[in-house]
C-alpha cells in the first residue's frame, strides 16, 4: 500500500511516499529555518505563507522521487494535530482537496504518533508494545505504545518542553537559532560537572517533567554573572545544562520501565537527535538490560515519512476522515 503523506505542523513543509508503513520511497522537505533565523524563532504567519507556496511543487517532487504518479497512490495521510494552527490548516486543506479530487482515502495522523512511527522506517523488527520517550520543541512525553494506534501516557511536561528549554537556554547564552543544535555542539567541549543546576520535580506525579525552573536558573545565573562583571564559561554551562536535562529525561524513563516491566525503549522527536541524550540513553539501557531503538538523525526532526508510516497503521485501524476534517493546535496523543 503506497501512502502519500504530508507534514506542516511547524516550519517544515514535507511530503513523502511510504509503502506499507515500513518502506520509504521518497521524502522531500522545504525548510524555513534560514528565514526564521531573522526573528530568533518561528513566526506562525510566515510559516503558513511558506507552506502555501511550497506544498504543490513539493508534492510533485515527492511523486517524482518515488517514480510514480497519483495513480500509484492508495491513500493520503496528513498531520492534523497538534501544531501551529495556521500551518496545519494549509496542508490539511490541501490534502482534503487532493483526496476529494482523486477519491482516495484520507488518513488523519497525530504529530506525536508519527514521531514514534519514524522508528518503524529505521527498524523493521520494532513492534509494540514498547516504552517511548518523545521529546521535541513542544512536547516531552513518556508513552507506552500498547499497539500501533493505542497509547498510554505515563509522564508529560507540566510547563516547558525539553526542546523549548534547550532553545531558551541557548538564547540566553547568545547562541544562534535554532538554539538546541548549537547548544549541543558547544556542550561537547565543556565540563558537565562545572555547574550544579536544579532538577525540578512535580509533587505527587513522579513521572511528569518540569523544565521551566531549570531554564530560569540558567537565565538567572547568566544575569547575575553579568551584573557582577564575572565571566561565565558558556561551554561548561552548556555541558552542565545538557547533562542535567538528559539525566532528568533518562531517569524518568527508567523509573517507568521498572514500573511497567518493559524491556524495549524507543526515542522519538527532534530532541532525540541530541548527542547527550542518545549517549545517556544508550548507557542507561546497557546498564539495565534494556533494548534501545533510536531514529536516524534524518528522521528525528519533522518530516512526512513518519506521517506515512503511522498513517498506514491508522488506515489498518480504520481511522479515516472525510472532507470535514479540521486541524487542532492541541490534542492528547491517546485521544487522536
Tell me the per-residue pLDDT of 114-160, one tens digit each, with 9 for 90 and over: 999 999 999 999 999 999 999 988 889 999 999 999 999 999 999 99
Which domains are seen in the chain, by residue range? 2-116+300-335 (3.30.420.40), 128-295 (3.30.420.40)
- Supply the Cα-derived Rg of the chain in whole angstroms: 20
For the four alpha carbons of 331, 34, 166 and 282, in that order, the dihedral sign comes to positive
The Cα 154–Cα 166 span in angstroms is 23
Please give the helix or strand (H or E) that residue 54 lies within, else none: helix 44-65
Structure confidence by residue, pLDDT tens digits, 173-212: 999 999 999 999 999 999 999 999 999 889 899 999 999 9
All three cell numbers of 197, joined, read 543546576
Beta strands in the chain (DSSP E): 2-7, 12-19, 23-31, 75-81, 106-110, 130-135, 140-147, 150-156, 264-268, 291-293
User: Which SS3 state, helix, strand or coil, does residue 182 take?
Assistant: helix
Grid cell 482534503 in the structure block, residue: 96
Tell me the whole-structure pTM to 2 decimals. Answer: 0.95
Which residues in the chain land under pLDDT 50? none
Could you give the CA distance from residue 254 to residue 259 in angstroms, rounded to a whole number?
9
Amino acid at each position: 500500500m503506497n501512502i502519500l503523506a504530508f507534514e506542516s505542523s511547524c516550519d517544515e513543509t514535507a511530503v513523502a511516499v511510504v509503502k506499507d508503513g515500513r518502506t520509504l520511497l521518497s521524502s522531500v522537505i522545504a525548510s524555513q529555518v534560514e528565514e526564521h533565523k531573522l526573528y530568533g524563532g518561528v513566526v506562525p504567519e510566515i510559516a503558513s505563507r511558506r507552506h502555501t507556496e511550497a506544498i504543490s511543487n513539493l508534492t510533485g517532487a515527492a511523486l517524482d522521487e518515488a517514480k510514480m504518479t497519483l495513480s500509484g497512490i492508495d491513500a493520503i495521510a496528513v498531520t492534523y494535530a497538534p501544531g501551529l494552527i495556521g500551518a496545519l490548516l494549509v496542508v490539511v486543506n490541501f490534502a482534503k482537496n487532493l483526496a476529494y479530487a482523486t477519491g482516495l482515502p484520507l488518513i488523519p495522523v497525530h504529530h506525536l504518533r508519527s514521531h514514534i512511527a519514524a522508528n518503524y522506517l529505521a527498524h523493521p523488527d520494532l513492534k509494540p508494545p514498547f516504552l517511548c520517550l518523545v521529546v521535541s520543541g513542544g512536547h516531552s512525553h513518556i508513552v507506552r505504545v500498547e499497539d500501533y494506534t493505542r497509547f498510554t501516557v505515563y509522564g508529560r511536561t507540566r510547563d516547558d518542553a525539553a526542546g523549548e528549554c534547550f532553545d531558551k537556554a541557548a538564547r540566553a547564552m547568545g547562541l544562534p537559532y535554532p538554539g538546541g543544535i548549537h547548544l549541543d555542539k558547544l556542550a561537547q567541549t565543556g565540563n558537565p560537572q562545572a555547574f550544579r543546576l536544579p532538577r525540578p520535580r512535580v509533587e505527587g506525579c513522579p513521572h511528569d517533567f518540569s523544565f521551566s525552573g531549570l531554564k530560569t536558573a540558567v537565565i538567572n545565573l547568566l544575569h547575575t554573572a553579568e551584573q557582577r562583571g564575572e565571566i561565565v564559561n558558556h561551554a561548561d554551562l552548556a555541558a552542565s545544562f545538557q547533562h542535567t536535562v538528559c539525566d532528568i529525561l533518562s531517569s524518568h524513563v527508567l523509573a517507568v520501565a521498572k514500573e511497567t516491566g518493559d524491556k524495549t525503549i524507543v526515542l522519538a522527536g527532534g530532541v532525540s537527535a541530541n548527542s547527550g541524550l542518545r549517549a545517556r540513553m544508550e548507557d542507561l539501557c546497557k546498564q539495565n538490560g534494556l533494548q534501545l531503538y533510536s531514529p536516524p538523525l534524518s528522521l528525528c526532526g519533522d518530516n512526512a515519512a513518519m506521517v506515512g508510516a503511522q498513517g498506514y497503521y491508522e488506515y489498518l485501524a480504520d481511522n479515516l476522515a472525510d472532507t470535514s476534517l479540521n486541524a487542532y493546535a492541541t490534542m492528547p496523543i491517546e485521544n487522536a
